[in-house]
Amino acid sequence: MSRKLVVANWKMNLTLEDSKDLIQKVANSVSFHAYVVIAAPAAYLHPLKDFIVGKKNIHLAAQNVHHEEFGAFTGELSAPMLASLGIEYCIIGHSERRIHFKEKNEILAQKVSQLFKHGICPIYCVGETLEQREKGKTYDVVKKQIKEGLFHLKDEEIEQIIIAYEPVWAIGTGKNATPEQAEEVHAFIRKYITQKYGEEVADEIPLLYGGSITAQNAKSLFEKPSIDGGLVGGASLNAEDFIQIIKANFPDK
Ligand code: PGA
């Protein structure tokens, strides 16, 4: 199977009507062969699941899940709940959750396990802060996030995961990593997973880049051999920009 995909992370934006309008435009404009995942606000997942029926290039993700299966956790959403809606993907460990909600690798590892238990594919985010990069710690940070968040998984689980490398300094800042910087870390991640799980498993895993992807810079990023696609925040809220980004990874035939 191809490793290519493009994921939109809408975060806490858009109304339900805006969401449907955007999805409709994307579904109409990109190739039938494109693979697009929309991480929508939790409240929209159910109506959007109905709305995407027949739109074969569009899939849905949640932006977060609780690490327990059920119980007294007011306001939270569990993996079995997402599964009961037929949601296929879920973002885990986005830097905004690591920073604002203090989510640690140990909890993220539990979330990842919950998702696999209920047949949902995690999109696991890693990435260093500017300070960590400037101190030369990028690889150490990424290694720790992967080891503690994912290395408890079995071969048949990890080969189904999606990993997004999102340097914190590039998210929402307009300052993307250069294709060379991103490629370097992506190649490192694949090598690190190869060391633990072997090449056959590591080769299955899509590695996405995220952080200030735009219609202008997407192509140069996606052309790199270790960059399989993107996790797109701001630019995924505008239909024209997002369509251009998808087309950069899935050119019209
Ligand atoms: P951005 O966000 O594209 O707005 O930088 C990316 C993300 O947070 O996933």
Per DSSP, 250 falls in state S
Ligand 1 pocket, residue 232 CB under 6 Å:
yes
Atom 9 of ligand 1: nearest residue by CA position: 233
Annotated catalytic residue 94: yes
The answer to whether residue 253 scores a pLDDT higher than 80 is no
Which of 59, 66, 67, 94 is labelled catalytic? 94
Residue 131 designated active-site = no
Q: 184: which residues sit within 8 A by CB, 6+ positions away?
A: none
- Distance in angstroms (rounded) separating the CA atoms of residues 95 and 229: 18
Query: Domains of the chain, with CATH numbers?
Result: 5-249 (3.20.20.70)
pLDDT tens-digit series, residues 212-247:
999 999 999 999 999 999 999 999 999 999 999 999
Q: How large a percentage of the chain has pLDDT more than 70?
A: 99
Number of H-type helices and E-type strands within the chain: 12, 8
Cα 13 to middle of ligand 1, angstroms? 13
Taking the centre of ligand 1 as the mean of its atom positions, its distance from the CA of residue 224, in whole angstroms, is 19
pLDDT digits (tens, 9 = 90+) for 167-177: 999 999 999 89
Q: What angle do the packed helices 179-197 and 138-150 form, to 10 degrees? A: 40
Which of 125, 126, 112 is closest to 160 using CA atoms? 112
Catalytic residue among 118, 166, 183, 186: 166
